[in-house]
Amino acid sequence: MAVQTMPRTEPRHHAGHRGRPPRRMPKLKTVIVAAAAYIVAFVFLFPYIVMLLTSLRSQDSLREVSFWPKEWVWSNLANFWSSGLAGNLWVTLKVAGGSTILVLLVALPAAYYSARHNFRGRTAFLILVLITQMFQPTAMLVGIYREFYQFGLVDSIWSLILVNGGFNLAFAVWILNAYFASIPRELEEAAFIDGNGRFGALFRVTLPLAMPGVITALIFTFIAAWNEFVVALTLTTTPANQPLTVALNSFIGQYQVDWQNLFAGSVIATIPVIILFALIERKVVGGLTAGSIK
């Protein structure tokens, strides 16, 4: 009786490796650029690393020379919520979000109209908008306070929304005007032929193509309102109505600074901004092609 033998086959992983091209080493220029990018990123991130490590130190270890804390005090982050600053964080979210919505509601039609219509005084209007960007809120604090005092809006969240929206409106109008002007009119005319009206062409064609500018204006306005301090310190007096940038001053005393809790609050204050960037980063790339490819 003959014994049949199975033919020998090579392992699959060897066959797979045969078809792969040899891995090339990166060029020297690529390595240098990547190394420089990592160094620059570390320089910008280093203060945040120090802030995070300081927020996890104990009061007795603040003056230690060592970079890493010998004792990790995670309760400093929990003390932020027990100190009542969570309400101030919510105030900051409302002020930044309200200012951003207000700016977009006003800047979008103003920028679109000035980009699509050559009306009389258009250049003067854009120059005036640019000039208003040069004024600083600190230079007009007395006038701002007196105006809101006459309207009974001192110590109100609405006053902060109006001020932050007003001082960030000029930048939004300028950047949105540039994006709208770069979009060909023929795309809107094609939408008109398809049966869309002015608003239909705006929301279906123009706005998707201008989404990078809209998101840039959104980010700029939100961060500027989130970090604003001087106007909020002037217009708010009740601790419950103060944004987080002002409320963190409660950790700064006359003779002592509660550094670990101050930095713990600062770490928590940066989290919403990081989340905003994480959510919007993909939409920036999607906005570059949205509306042009179906």
pLDDT one-digit tens code per residue, 167-207: 888 888 888 888 888 888 888 778 777 777 777 777 788 88
The CA distance from 126 to 172, in Å, is: 12
pLDDT of residue 275 exceeding 90, the answer is no
What is the 8-class DSSP label of residue 257?
B
Residues 6 or more apart whose Cβ sits within 8 Å of residue 53: 67, 68, 69
Tokens matching residue 237: 């007096």
pLDDT one-digit tens code per residue, 200-212: 777 788 888 888 8
pLDDT one-digit tens code per residue, 78-93: 777 777 788 888 999 9
How far, CA to CA in Å, does 210 sit from each of 63, 172, 181, 224? Answer: 51, 12, 10, 21
Contact 225, 99 (CB under 8 A): yes
